[in-house]
Amino acid sequence: MSHTSEIKVRGFHLDIYQHVNNARYLEFLEEARWEYLEETGDIEYFQSKGLAWVIVNININYRAAATMGQTLTINTGLKKIGGKSAVFNQKITVKGTDILVADADITFVVMDQKSGKAVELDGAIKERMTRHLTEQEEL
Instruction: Render 28-97 in DSSP notation, one character per residue.
Output: HHHHHHHHHHHHHTHHHHHHHTTEEEEEEEEEEEE-S---TTPEEEEEEEEEEE-SSEEEEEEEEEETTS
Residue 26 counted as domain residue: yes
Tens of pLDDT, residue by residue over 40-75, are 999 999 999 999 999 999 999 999 999 999 999 999
Sign of the C-alpha dihedral computed for residues 115, 116, 120 and 123 taken in this order: positive
**26 in helix, strand or coil?**
helix
Label residue 139 by pLDDT band (50, 70, 90): very low
Residues with active-site annotation = 15
Residue 135 counted as domain residue: no
Residue 6 counted as domain residue: yes
CATH of residue 7's domain is: 3.10.129.10
What pTM does this model have?
0.91
Tens of pLDDT, residue by residue over 99-135, are 999 999 999 999 999 999 999 999 999 999 998 898 6
Q: Cβ–Cβ contacts within 10 Å for residue 48, how many?
A: 8
Tens of pLDDT, residue by residue over 106-115, are 999 999 999 9
Residue 70 counted as domain residue: yes
**45 is in which domain, residue-wise?**
2-130
Label residue 32 by pLDDT band (50, 70, 90): very high
Residue 139 counted as domain residue: no
Number of domains in the chain: 1
